[in-house]
Amino acid sequence: MELDTFEHKDYGQLIAWIDSEKLCYLWGGPAYKYPLTHDQIETHCEQSQVFPFLFTIENNPIGFVELYQVSVNEFRICRVFISPEYRDQNLAQTMLQLLIQKAQVHYEANLLTLGVFSHNKSAISCYEKLGFIEFEQITNSLSFNGESWDLSRMEKRL
């Protein structure tokens, strides 16, 4: 299992995974518009504070995750995605464990934060198993097709 730098050659895989407007919004929030395009991904990933990764098992792409540098030692985990055929196998937890290790070792992070929609109970459970705790609840944070979504903000001190 590897967490490799997400590169231009991987954009097509991400575009194939994010296959609906709702999924695009759940995964990417307002940073992306459906359908995803190479230009959108490139513009986002070229930002100096964005560190995107592709999660692979035996060279097969399984998932995507991103670190966003908030400050010198604080990073936000963003855009966590596991391919549908690999869900319910605790692979998101494995991918995030690799990301946490990378954040500590390569980026000298001492605080990781994230935002997760409150109705995404499986993601919240995964983050809690990794030691994240909720520090803020934002009611009606975003809405999609008239449906308001609350946001849980979580953190883990390293």
Give the three-class secondary structure for 84: helix
Residue 142 lies in a domain: no
For residues 85 and 46, give the distance between their C-alpha atoms in angstroms, rounded to a whole number.
29
Q: What mean pLDDT value characterizes the chain?
A: 96
Residue 61 lies inside a defined structural domain of this protein: yes
Task: Quote the CA–CA distance of 40 and 55 in Å, as a whole number.
Answer: 20
Number of domains into which the chain is organized: 1
Identify the CA nearest to 123 among candidates 53, 71, 63, 44: 63
131 falls within a domain: no
* CATH (domain of 70): 3.40.630.30
In a domain, 77, yes or no: yes
- Report pLDDT for 89: 95
**Residue found by looking up tokens 């999609």 in the block:** 144
Predicted pLDDT of residue 137: 96
Residue 93 lies in a domain: yes
Q: What is the pTM of this model?
A: 0.95
> Which residue carries 């705790």 as its tokens?
133
Sheet holding 111-117, edge to edge: 2-5, 50-57, 60-69, 74-82, 111-117, 147-157, 133-144
Q: Which residue has the higher pLDDT, 33 or 145?
A: 33
12 is in which domain, residue-wise?
Answer: 2-113
CA geometry: angle 90, 138, 76, nearest 5 deg: 50
8 inside domain: yes
Asked whether residue 141 carries a pLDDT value surpassing 90, the answer given is no
| 146 falls within a domain | no
Are 153 and 113 in contact by the 8 Å Cβ rule? The answer is: yes
Q: 106 lies in a domain?
A: yes
Query: Residue 41: in which H helix or E strand, if any?
Result: helix 38-45
User: What percent of the chain is modeled with pLDDT above 70?
Assistant: 100
Phi, psi of 26 (to 5 degrees): -60, -45
